[in-house]
Chain A
């Protein structure tokens, strides 16, 4: 009886350790790769090549690092599993939160890993019209090209924004416990640059 009890306790401890180890492994999974823009040169049809380039770039756009702050509603999501943000916060009038719970109060200039809090000098939500959550890659593509839903940006502005913006760049340096966006920010910018040069076609 005692031996069975000991065995049970050992199994329980082993299971707990296994869970902890696998949880740690999840946060240490290497970032997904991103294909180089020139690797699409073999696609002869220009529109098809353009759509393929966007589909590749969308690996980043639909990644939790980007999608969490492009929500469909007024509350951001967090973590690799895209849970609702805790504490419950609201975008507020300017995307920086309500008066009593402004984003930069917790989200400082840089990541603070001991508190597991990500940071950037411009931490805030994307405007409501730029919400991508729940949309297909084709829908996001159409949205990103529409100045009424992309912050009034030209296609070149979009390439520049995603390829160089500091807050966007945080997605590739997200701090402890968060998976990085695929590839690098420069690769993402190059994909979108080639997408624009090939006509900015959208996938179906």
Chain B
């Protein structure tokens, strides 16, 4: 058993004593009831379980939760799909996903949303040429599996969000 602390969507949790074998996915879903983070393959192959991890330097990245121990997140700050909307209003990305009918069953959506959010934050810090945008989006979303809508709608939704604010994201 190990005691750990974690910040999730701006709120601190812990100290909590958990089994060393407990995955972060089980902690989120079974301990906290944050079921927006999905569990699918259980082997980090579909990334539906991905959450955002915020680094102290302001950068962010996504991490699968199904194969990583909860205690490995000790002291970290993460965001889940439940943390995107503000005061009941969906984020720009969430709205774009809906407008593009990007998801059908929705099981992969939280992972795609988190990955796309990290991409936006990365581009806001380091813009890319317009010519590299398609490749940049494709590489960012690579690894996330969707069995319903065929990826292109997610891609188009993310592209629209970026093109709507070119000075922020593009060179």
Contact = CB atoms under 8 A, between A and B. Distances in A.
Contact of A99 (B21, B64, B67, B122): B122
A100 B140 contact: yes
A133 B103 CA distance: 40
A112 B21 CA distance: 8
Contacts of A88: 142-143
Interface string B19-59: 00101000000000000000000111111000000000000
Nearest to B126: A99
Contacts of B143: 87-89, 100-101
Contacts of A106: 44, 63-64, 67-68
A89 B47 CA distance: 13
Interface residues of A, number: 19
Interface string A99-117: 1111001101100111111
B169 to A, nearest CB: 15
Interface in A75-93: 86-89
Interface of A: 86-89, 98-102, 105-106, 108-109, 112-117
Interface of B: 21, 23, 42-47, 61-64, 66-69, 72, 115, 118-119, 122, 139-143
